Amino acid sequence: MRGRRRSGIVVAIVGAGSSYSPMIVNELFRRQVRLPVAEVRLYDINRDRLRTVAGFCRRLIDSGLPIATPASLAKAVEGADFVLSQFRVGGLQARHRDIKLGLKYGLIGQETTGVGGYAKALRTIPATLKVCGAMRRHAAKGAWLVNFTNPSGIITETVLKHGGVNVVGLCNGPLGVMRRAAQALKVRPQDVVVDYVGANHLGWVRSVRVNGRDRTAAVRRRYVTHKPKNIPYLEPNQLFERALGAPYSSYLKYYYYTDAMFRTIAERKRSRAQEALAIERTLLRKYADPRVRQIPAELSKRGGGGYNLVAADVIEALVNDLGTVHIVNVRNAGTIHGVQEDQSVEVTCRVGRNGARPMFPGSIPAHMRGLLQVVKAYEELAVEAGVTGDLEAALHALVIHPLGPTAEQAGDLLRDLLRVNRAYLPQFGEKAVARFFKGEE
Task: Say how far apart CA 304 and CA 86 lie, in whole Å.
Answer: 12
Give the distance, in angstroms, between the CA of residue 296 and the centroid of all CA atoms in the same chain: 23
Check which CATH number belongs to the domain holding 43 and give it: 3.40.50.720
Residue 20 in any domain: the answer is yes
CA distance 430 to 79: 37
Instruction: For 386, list phi and psi in degrees, rounded to 5.
Output: -70, -30
Q: Cβ contacts of residue 67 below 8 Å, gap of 6+?
A: 25, 39, 40, 41, 42, 54, 57, 58
Element (H, E) at 214: strand 213-214
Number of separate domains in the chain: 1
pLDDT value of position 316: 97
Predicted confidence at residue 310, as pLDDT, reads 94
Residue 394 and residue 119: Cα distance in Å, rounded?
10
Asked if residue 296 has a cis previous peptide bond (ω within 30° of 0), the answer is no
Residue 385 lies in a domain: no
pLDDT at 226: 61
pTM across the whole model: 0.95
**CA nearest to 152, candidates 101, 194, 110, 199:** 199
Instruction: Find out whether 215 and 207 touch, Cβ atoms under 8 Å.
Output: no
Which of 381, 337, 402 has the alpha carbon at shortest distance from 154? Answer: 381
Q: Is residue 123 part of a domain?
A: yes
DSSP SS3 for 123 = helix
Range of the domain at 143: 9-169
Q: Which residues contact 431 (CB under 8 A, 6 or more apart)?
A: none
Is the residue at 250 inside a domain? no
Task: Compute the distance between CA of residue 136 and CA of residue 68 in angstroms, rounded to an integer.
Answer: 21
> E strands within 29-106?
37-43, 67-68, 82-85
Report the distance separating Cα 383 and Cα 156, nearest Å. 10
Q: Hey, which bits of 32-163 come out as E strands?
A: 37-43, 67-68, 82-85, 144-147
From the list 92, 42, 51, the residue with the least C-alpha distance to 72 is 42
Active site residues per annotation: 251
Please name the residue ranges forming H helices in 207-327.
Answer: 216-222, 238-244, 253-256, 258-267, 272-288, 307-320
Is 165 within the bounds of a domain?
Answer: yes
The neighbour count for residue 173, using CB atoms within 10 Å, is 26
Beta-carbon neighbour count of residue 41 at 10 Å? 23
Would you say residue 65 lies in a domain?
yes
Residue 240 lies in a domain: no
The confidence score (pLDDT) of residue 32 equals: 94
Domain annotation covers residue 3: no
- From first to last of the 441 residues of the chain, give the pLDDT tens digit: 344 445 799 999 999 999 999 999 999 999 999 999 999 999 999 999 999 999 999 999 998 999 999 999 999 999 999 999 999 999 999 999 999 999 999 999 888 999 999 999 999 999 999 999 999 999 999 999 999 999 999 999 999 999 999 999 999 989 888 888 888 899 998 899 999 999 999 999 999 999 889 998 888 877 666 666 678 888 889 899 888 888 899 899 999 999 999 999 999 999 999 999 999 999 999 999 999 999 998 888 776 668 899 999 999 999 999 999 999 999 999 999 999 999 999 999 999 999 999 999 999 999 999 999 999 999 999 999 999 999 999 999 999 999 999 999 999 999 999 999 999 999 999 999 999 999 865
